[in-house]
Structure 1
Amino acid sequence: MDLGTQGVRALAVTAGGEVRGTGGHPLTGRRDGPRHEQDPERWWTAVGAACRQALRDVPAEAVQAVAVDGTSGTVLLTDGAGRPLTPGLMYDDMRAADQVERVDRAGGEVWRRLGYQRMQPAWALPKLLWLLEHHRDLPAGGVRLAHQTDFVNARLTGHPVASDLSSALKTGADLVAEDWPRHVLDELGVPAGLLPPLERSGTPLGTVCAAAADATGLPAGIPVIAGCTDGCAAQLGTGRLTVGSWNAVLGTTLVLKGVTDDLVQDPYGVVYSHRAPDGRWLPGGASSTGAGILSRDFPGRDLAELDRAAGAYEPSGAVTYPLVSAGERFPFVAPGAHGFVLGDPRDEADRFASILQGVGYVERLCFDYLDLLGAPVDGDLTLTGGATRSAYWCRLRADILGRPVILPEHAEPALGAAVLAASADRPMPEVAAGMVTVRATLDPRPSHLARFDDGYLGLVDELERRGWLPTPVAAHARERTSS
């Protein structure tokens, strides 16, 4: 199961990668300035509906295990029975900006050792402090922090569960020690017992209880396996788990995740690394740019028709920085960043083309940044997320990046969760190889290899001029473009 921003997605997948059932149920939230929250009870309602749809043609005895992925940095407080005491503060909720300095003062040494240097306003530990400061009337005992996946897993098992290391990264978990940095949390005033124990993704957490079986259609007694964030799940679902492989998830926003042997150190605090189930590292980051701007600026439009029209504008007469919401997180951190357009699009199709190309430029800048940090970036690149429904956009991204892109048959994080569910007692690369198939590989068109360089460098120059993109990063992007 994949807990997304706009809905829950469920897949019933065989060990051979055949999708036997699919299900989904929408979610809605509340946005108010920097705040974005959802009702956790609706997550559970959506899980039940999506599971029942996915399992309607699947014999109950065939279901062997279940795993859940969720949005990164989404948290709430619950009572000891798992009932929500607060709304779920979503992954991009920025209300805790004032708590970041305090968090970094207490835990800076740990954050530097983990490679990301400092926390960002949307991360979970600042939001936890905000929750504690603004909900002082909570019960004296039994209050627990829950990540989005924890909340659902507790409902599935009927008891409190450990949190996976992947979801706990933004809450301050020490992924090297695989434990909470207790001295940091004590200094911040986080009560002992508030945080769940930690386990690696892929670890059994319990079994589906009778109440959850009634709500979801899952058979009681099957294992519930510790999941991960949606970005990590998308990486696992590509089947590309060798060092140097990367996955780009393009949905509402853009998320990149790769595989390395070593922990990536980032002096600018942009890239952070999750711990893979096998102990290796999954570095990456989440941009605030992405396809969400299409829903905002072209509501209800036929995007396929706009795709066809955009093909006449390569490159566009304008350069767009397609920020979905205020503030950028990757490939640079700029809380005050906002979207902009350089030049004047000739018409609607040109404006649409400039957005598609702008997302491709940001994606290219992400890889230039990762290369600057010394991360291996020359392995396979898979594209997943809702944007892969656009064949034109996938081809365009290959052209802008100047490298082949691989499109898996089933491009969604829910498949990665299924890989985790099947891997509790088997090596994950072996499991993934049997469950993931490739739909197509797209090579960049030779005639287009330099066609987008001017637009890309124009965006780099403007981001640097505005003070958002550090000069060494801009210089490296120019160097890679000219080489």
Structure 2
Amino acid sequence: MAHEQPRMTHDQDDAWLGIDLGTQSVRVLLVTGDGTVLGSGSAPLGGRRDGVRHEQDPGEWWDAVCTASRAALGSPRGVRIGGLAVCGTSGTVLLTDGAGRPTSPALMYDDGRATVQGARARMAGLAVQDTWALPKALWLTETYGQGRVTHQPDLVVSLLTGQLPPADSSHALKTGYDLERDAWPAMLTRLGLSDAVIPDVVRPGTPLGEVSPTAADATGIPAGTPVIAGMTDGCAAQIASAALRPGSWNSVLGTTLVLKGASPTLVRDPTGVVYNHRAPDGSWLPGGASSVGAGVLTAAFSGADPAAMDTLAASYEPSGAITYPLVSPGERFPFLAPKAVALVLGEPESDADLWAGLLQGVAFTERLCLDYLHHLGAPLDGPLTFTGGAARSPYWNQLRADILGRPARVPQQTEPALGMAALAAYGAGAAPGLAQAAEGMVRIGRTVEPRPDRTARFAGPYARLVDELTARGWLPPPVAAHALARLDDDADTSAS
């Protein structure tokens, strides 16, 4: 049931607050509609890791929100805050009682203890992974007793408004919510989650309430500030890249690689490699997460100076080593292969050559992800945006554009908290659509153009990697054939 609130009128001087509940910290940004950052604050978060266990104390979230919010609001004076929204880590879940008080620790997005429950959910016909929120919610109820299933932002919103809110459909996705039907599947009851413990769900951008006087005293956020339903941190980062119009894609390259795009229709993938969030307007945000990424550089070259290594790597295009640089065993996107391992084909002649091979291998994977999306029929004709920590490397950005054979935009500011500020502006009625709100706030730093001669230079190594992945049984032959056909199309286009 949606909690509709009367919408305020806004002017161009209003500011918007975005709150990002990350793994290691809470980050808060105060942003105007044109993208000017008026204030920022952060506060660290702890956690407990032990093997597959990864927990956080939910009480720390609120303490960190209070600290970070006060820092973000410490300087501006006379600024009206038009609204706020909160994002959290996808799949993080806990139990609360009827008053919204935690009755369990929070199981983080990568907690891996719910393997039995995950298998049971899949047997019931739900396409979930063991680390998703649904198996963990089952594990929590079996371990701690019945309680309301609560996502990370739900708890913080309840403390802001004084009432436990409905969940947003973005965070509810990994708890098994059916975004296409806009309903919880009936089989959840058979799995052990009664209607009494499953939250109501609303779409992102829905007004949930207002900041209470008690929360205002604790956070410094003015009482009465509208609180808007948020999205997961990955979707928040996508909003912060302004990749929201159909055919647009945001490639987030950090420790691992995540691609998220926009489509007017659901992108169906029977293998479950690509999944879909739903935008506030009902359109779709397809995407996938790979286990390849920049984390392999840290593992292979601990303490190295990335800028210096990039300079040396420029002499090896292409590298003597063709790599599939998995950060950890198993691959999820662009193919599903639980037993996949990192590959190095050929012998690099130096550390610089290996560094080059790893950079190129990540870009080859990125290209294969886009080829797979094209194979599924996803629209790819909009702009591509590079974000994530690796986007700070000008050399790697150029290399990726060359290997992909398409231009890429690099925004100046890509924090998830910025995405939540844009969502707050949209949800409070200050913009006609989320895309317009994001485009008003996002500032593109530069656009990287591909160099056709370099694109052609990397075609052979890419084809060899595709062949190797297919020969190992990881990449389905129809996907490989589609990727190679697109490579031939690019060659024909360049020659004409």
TM-score above 0.5, yes or no: yes
Aligned positions, number: 468
8 A Cα contact 2:119 2:130, kept in partner: no
Scaled by the length of structure 2, the TM-score of the pair is 0.89
Matched, 1:126 2:128: no
* Between 344-353 and 197-206, the greater mean CA deviation after superposition: 344-353
For residue 78 of structure 1, report the CA deviation from its aligned partner: 2.4
Q: Which amino acid aligns with 2:477?
A: T
8 A Cα contact 1:239 1:432, kept in partner: yes
Q: 1:33 to 1:345 in 2, by over 3 A?
A: farther
1:195 corresponds to which of 195, 198, 202: 198
**Correspondence for 1:384:** 387
Distance in 2 (alpha carbons) for counterparts of 1:463 and 1:269: 19
For residue 60 of structure 1, report the CA deviation from its aligned partner: 6.3
Q: Which amino acid aligns with 1:189?
A: G
For residue 61 of structure 1, report the CA deviation from its aligned partner: 4.4
**Correspondence for 2:158:** 154
Q: 1:273 to 1:205 in 2, by over 3 A?
A: same
For residue 202 of structure 1, report the CA deviation from its aligned partner: 0.6
Q: 1:36 to 1:264 in 2, by over 3 A?
A: same
1:374 corresponds to which of 377, 386, 400: 377
Q: 1:83 to 1:57 in 2, by over 3 A?
A: same
8 A Cα contact 1:245 1:259, kept in partner: yes
* Between 229-238 and 42-51, the greater mean CA deviation after superposition: 42-51
Distance in 2 (alpha carbons) for counterparts of 1:260 and 1:469: 25
Distance in 2 (alpha carbons) for counterparts of 1:298 and 1:53: 36
Q: Map 1:5-404 onto structure 2 (within 5 A).
A: 5-59=23-77, 61-108=79-126, 118-133=127-142, 135=143, 137-138=144-145, 143-181=147-185, 183-404=186-407
Distance in 2 (alpha carbons) for counterparts of 1:253 and 1:29: 21
8 A Cα contact 2:249 2:260, kept in partner: yes
Distance in 2 (alpha carbons) for counterparts of 1:22 and 1:166: 25
Matched, 1:470 2:476: yes
1:6-52 alpha-carbon deviations (Å, 9 max, x no partner): 33222111011111122223334444443333333333333233222
Q: 1:307 to 1:216 in 2, by over 3 A?
A: farther
1:38-90 alpha-carbon deviations (Å, 9 max, x no partner): 33333333323322222221226422211111222222222333333333322
Q: 1:26 to 1:469 in 2, by over 3 A?
A: farther
1:139-173 alpha-carbon deviations (Å, 9 max, x no partner): x5xx1112222222222223211111111111111
**Correspondence for 2:16:** none
Distance in 2 (alpha carbons) for counterparts of 1:371 and 1:245: 13
Secondary structure at the counterpart of residue 23 of structure 2: coil
**Correspondence for 1:412:** 415
Q: Which amino acid aligns with 1:7?
A: S
Q: 1:349 to 1:45 in 2, by over 3 A?
A: farther
Q: Which amino acid aligns with 2:378?
A: A
Q: Which amino acid aligns with 2:235?
A: C
Structure 2 portions without partners, runs of 5+: 1-18, 490-496
Secondary structure at the counterpart of residue 227 of structure 1: coil
Distance in 2 (alpha carbons) for counterparts of 1:43 and 1:466: 44
Matched, 1:433 2:451: no
8 A Cα contact 1:383 1:411, kept in partner: no
For residue 339 of structure 1, report the CA deviation from its aligned partner: 2.6
Secondary structure at the counterpart of residue 150 of structure 2: strand
Distance in 2 (alpha carbons) for counterparts of 1:327 and 1:300: 26
Q: 1:60 to 1:121 in 2, by over 3 A?
A: farther
Q: Which amino acid aligns with 2:141?
A: L
8 A Cα contact 2:249 2:385, kept in partner: yes
Q: 1:159 to 1:447 in 2, by over 3 A?
A: same
Q: Which amino acid aligns with 1:472?
A: P
Distance in 2 (alpha carbons) for counterparts of 1:87 and 1:152: 15
1:427-477 alpha-carbon deviations (Å, 9 max, x no partner): 223322322221111111122112222332333233323322222212211
Q: Which amino acid aligns with 1:311?
A: A
Q: 1:189 to 1:72 in 2, by over 3 A?
A: same
Secondary structure at the counterpart of residue 68 of structure 1: strand
1:272-291 alpha-carbon deviations (Å, 9 max, x no partner): 11111011111111122222
Q: 1:342 to 1:76 in 2, by over 3 A?
A: farther
* Same amino acid, percent of matched pairs: 59
1:405-447 alpha-carbon deviations (Å, 9 max, x no partner): 0112212222111110111213223322322221111111122
Q: Which amino acid aligns with 2:107?
A: L
Distance in 1 (alpha carbons) for counterparts of 2:356 and 2:61: 35
For residue 478 of structure 1, report the CA deviation from its aligned partner: 1.7
**Correspondence for 1:114:** none
Matched, 1:458 2:464: yes
Distance in 2 (alpha carbons) for counterparts of 1:38 and 1:455: 43
Distance in 1 (alpha carbons) for counterparts of 2:471 and 2:156: 45
Distance in 1 (alpha carbons) for counterparts of 2:64 and 2:31: 19
8 A Cα contact 2:241 2:442, kept in partner: yes
8 A Cα contact 1:61 1:219, kept in partner: no
8 A Cα contact 1:16 1:435, kept in partner: yes
Secondary structure at the counterpart of residue 410 of structure 2: strand
Distance in 2 (alpha carbons) for counterparts of 1:394 and 1:376: 22
Distance in 2 (alpha carbons) for counterparts of 1:85 and 1:337: 38
For residue 354 of structure 1, report the CA deviation from its aligned partner: 2.1
Over aligned residue pairs, what C-alpha RMSD do you find? Answer: 2.1
* Between 20-29 and 9-18, the greater mean CA deviation after superposition: 20-29
For residue 373 of structure 1, report the CA deviation from its aligned partner: 0.4
Secondary structure at the counterpart of residue 82 of structure 2: coil
Q: 1:36 to 1:458 in 2, by over 3 A?
A: farther
For residue 105 of structure 1, report the CA deviation from its aligned partner: 2.9
Structure 1 stretches of 4+ with a deviation exceeding 4 A read none
* Between 158-167 and 208-217, the greater mean CA deviation after superposition: 208-217
Secondary structure at the counterpart of residue 177 of structure 2: coil
